[in-house]
Amino acid sequence: MLGQRIVTAVVLLALLVPALLAQSVWPFALLTLTLLAAAGWEWGRLNGAPQAISLALALCLLLACAGLGPAAVRRTIPAELWFIWAAGWVLGGAWVLRRGVLGWQDSSRQLRWLLGVLLLCGAWAALVSARAQGLAYVLSVLCLVWVADVAAYFGGRAFGRRKLAPSISPGKSWEGVWSGMAGVAVLAWAWVTLAVDAGPSVFSLLLERYGFVGGGALLMLLCGMSVVGDLFESLVKRAARMKDSSQLLPGHGGVLDRIDALLPVFPLALALTLA
């Protein structure tokens, strides 16, 4: 299993790094579109769709993203759209988690399929728009989510006592959430202090727009939304009685398993810093 994880990670990095560093945004856009289409197929499977419909969802996602692609690359997507996607995640995510696994199972499958296409399409457009803002910006958002996840994991293992959502993800704790936020606070300080000439980042833009207190509070909101994204996918998997979204990434599970925390963070980051 460890060998599979390492090989898969190396292959993904070998694809991702050149796409990120390319002068044009399109290599990154096409690579992430491929991954998000796979996530669309996984979403259908997790929500009771037959194979043909799951493939159709992936195709619908491709077509929707193709329509948004030029605007995302040119950074001309209306600011109101980022706020709509962000508000949908903040309010809708809280509502879904409050209803729990049974509430998700009782909802219409067709609405769940449509919701998946909308959420994944918004996440892809936000990813591409973030890359179009500059390498420093997209990397800062990615690192925010990754550091929050890693710090939460180790903090939860070391200090975890109070369960965050035991019926959805028993391993997560409030202490893990606080540890993740502390890790991101350290990352933000280091980034703003040491990477002054690297270009605008989500950290520097939050600081410039909202000041130390406001920017810090919104940074914690982004951390919290990464947890919401993680919990949301865990809820969907628990409702489907599946451990992983698929086995497309050997040793890592599925694409959704790797990007769940990113889905709400990118639209919200754009709404807060660029809209």
Question: How far apart are the C-alpha atoms of 252 and 245, rounded to whole Å?
Answer: 10
- Residues 223 and 184: beta-carbon distance below 8 Å: yes
Whole-number pLDDT of residue 180: 96
**Chain segment 3-35, per-residue pLDDT in tens:** 787 888 888 889 999 999 999 999 999 999 999
Buried residues in 253-267 as b, exposed as e (16+ CB within 10 A): bbbbbbbbbbbbbbb
Is it the case that residue 263 has pLDDT exceeding 70? yes
Element (H, E) at 89: none
Is it the case that residue 275 has pLDDT exceeding 70? no
Is it the case that residue 191 has pLDDT exceeding 80? yes
Please, which pLDDT band fits residue 250 given cuts at 50, 70 and 90?
Answer: confident
Please, which pLDDT band fits residue 196 given cuts at 50, 70 and 90?
Answer: low
Segment among 66-80, 115-129, 213-227 with least mean pLDDT: 66-80
Identify the bridge partners of residue 163 per DSSP, sorted by sequence position.
Answer: 173
Q: What is the mean pLDDT of the chain?
A: 92
Query: What pTM was estimated for this model as a whole?
Result: 0.94
Number of H helices, E strands in the chain: 11, 2
Residue 197: phi and psi, rounded to 5, are -95, 10
Q: Which domain holds residue 130?
A: 2-273
Report which DSSP code applies to 253: B
Report which DSSP code applies to 90: I
**Chain segment 155-170, per-residue pLDDT in tens:** 999 998 999 999 999 9
Please, which pLDDT band fits residue 200 given cuts at 50, 70 and 90?
Answer: very high
Query: Under 8 Å CB-to-CB from 225, ≥6 apart: which residues?
Result: 89, 90, 93, 264, 265, 268
- Report how far apart, in Å, the C-alpha atoms of 98 and of each of 26, 167, 202 are: 38, 11, 29
Question: How far apart are the C-alpha atoms of 251 and 187, rounded to whole Å?
Answer: 28
Identify the bridge partners of residue 173 per DSSP, sorted by sequence position.
Answer: 163
Query: Under 8 Å CB-to-CB from 265, ≥6 apart: which residues?
Result: 141, 144, 145, 222, 225, 226, 229
- Report how far apart, in Å, the C-alpha atoms of 6 and of each of 10, 11, 181 are: 6, 9, 27
| Total residues found in the chain within this entry | 275
Q: Count Cβ atoms below 10 Å from residue 92 Cβ, excluding itself.
A: 15
Identify the bridge partners of residue 169 per DSSP, sorted by sequence position.
Answer: 165
**Chain segment 91-146, per-residue pLDDT in tens:** 999 999 999 999 999 999 999 999 999 999 999 999 999 999 999 999 999 999 99
The domain total for the chain is: 1
What's the rounded mean pLDDT across residues 178-207? 91
Please, which pLDDT band fits residue 199 given cuts at 50, 70 and 90?
Answer: confident
What's the rounded mean pLDDT across residues 194-206? 87
Q: Count Cβ atoms below 10 Å from residue 126 Cβ, excluding itself.
A: 28
Question: How far apart are the C-alpha atoms of 206 and 212, rounded to whole Å?
Answer: 8
End-to-end CA distance of the chain: 43
The angle, 0 to 180 degrees and rounded to 10, between the axes of the packed helices 262-273 and 135-159 is 130
